[in-house]
């Protein structure tokens, strides 16, 4: 589905990504793990073509990614935001139309989603009247509305209460069943362990560990992902210092 080949990206003198290679298999949930500032968000922005790499290529379905491919991506950024003064329904339709849906389809699908998440009564409310968790639900809907084949969730559970986090988890798994490929960046190892098929651990701009979750766990018997994460990060950080 998505192959990242030898990507390098610097901002001034700061190297955000350094020779990164990754492969995301179709129909799987891919966990993008790593400490703060490791380069996860930069990688996601490169995939979305918000910024361009210094070198390397990103292949989408085997060909270099194009703006048309980006339209098939649904992206939920970590720092979430909506227009505060706009009404929920109006705003969702606008964002869906920017993703290429026509107005009536957008409206139809939105009502379906809003019904399922039991938020249809918010349709005419202004975004600023909603709580942060409510806004995140709305954003989640906007992200998946155009039936993207690739979904990128950056820290999707942050800010959600346990009930809604669980609801979201189910929705993510449902989307996977429907055939979507999901890239999912997080610090939350238990949820990564629960959802991911493959993972990649990025530290200091490099991929330090990657592969199917099952294989990684088999190599580290008796350790949970948290432990593996901490050990790997410490190991690679001291390696950098030497």
Summarize as ranges the residues that interact with another protein (CB under 8 A). 45, 48-52, 67, 70-71, 73, 75, 77, 79-86, 94-95, 97-100, 102, 139, 142-143
To another protein, the closest distance from the beta carbon of 90 in angstroms equals 8
Would you say 52 or 218 has its CB closer to another protein? 52
Would you say 152 or 196 has its CB closer to another protein? 152
To another protein, the closest distance from the beta carbon of 115 in angstroms equals 23
Would you say 109 or 199 has its CB closer to another protein? 109
Q: How far is CA 156 from CA 86, 187, 188, 213, in A?
A: 23, 10, 10, 20
To another protein, the closest distance from the beta carbon of 92 in angstroms equals 12
SS3 helix, strand, coil % of the chain, rounded to 5?
45, 25, 30
Would you say 93 or 205 has its CB closer to another protein? 93
Would you say 75 or 114 has its CB closer to another protein? 75
Here the tokens at position 135 are 């806004």
Q: Give the whole-angstrom CA distance, residue 173 versus residue 212.
A: 17
To another protein, the closest distance from the beta carbon of 39 in angstroms equals 15
Asked whether 10 and 16 are in contact (CB, 8 A), the reply is yes
To another protein, the closest distance from the beta carbon of 80 in angstroms equals 6
Q: Give the whole-angstrom CA distance, residue 31 versus residue 19.
A: 19
Asked whether 58 and 69 are in contact (CB, 8 A), the reply is no
Asked whether 45 and 185 are in contact (CB, 8 A), the reply is no
């Amino acid at each position: 589905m998505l192959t990242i080949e030898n990507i390098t990206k610097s901002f001034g003198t700061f190297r955000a990504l350094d020779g990164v290679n990754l492969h995301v298999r179709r129909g799987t949930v891919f966990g993008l793990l790593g400490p703060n500032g490791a380069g996860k968000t930069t990688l996601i922005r490169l995939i979305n073509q918000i910024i361009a790499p210094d070198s390397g290529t990103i292949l989408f379905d085997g060909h270099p990614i194009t703006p048309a491919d980006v339209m098939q991506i649904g992206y939920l950024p970590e720092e979430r935001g909506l227009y505060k003064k706009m009404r929920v329904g109006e705003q969702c339709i606008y964002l869906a139309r920017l993703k290429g849906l026509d107005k009536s389809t957008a409206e139809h699908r939105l009502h379906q989603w809003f019904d399922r998440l039991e938020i249809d009564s918010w349709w005419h409310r202004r975004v600023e009247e909603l709580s942060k968790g409510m806004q995140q639900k709305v954003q989640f809907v906007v992200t998946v509305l155009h039936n993207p084949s690739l979904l990128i969730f950056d820290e999707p559970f942050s800010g959600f209460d346990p009930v809604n986090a669980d609801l979201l988890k189910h929705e993510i798994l449902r989307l996977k069943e429907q055939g979507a490929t999901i890239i999912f960046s997080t610090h939350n190892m238990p949820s990564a362990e629960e959802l991911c098929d493959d993972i990649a651990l990025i530290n200091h701009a490099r991929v330090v560990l990657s592969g199917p979750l099952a294989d990684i766990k088999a190599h580290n018997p008796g350790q949970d992902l948290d432990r593996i994460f901490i050990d790997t990060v410490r190991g690679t950080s001291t390696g950098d210092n030497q």
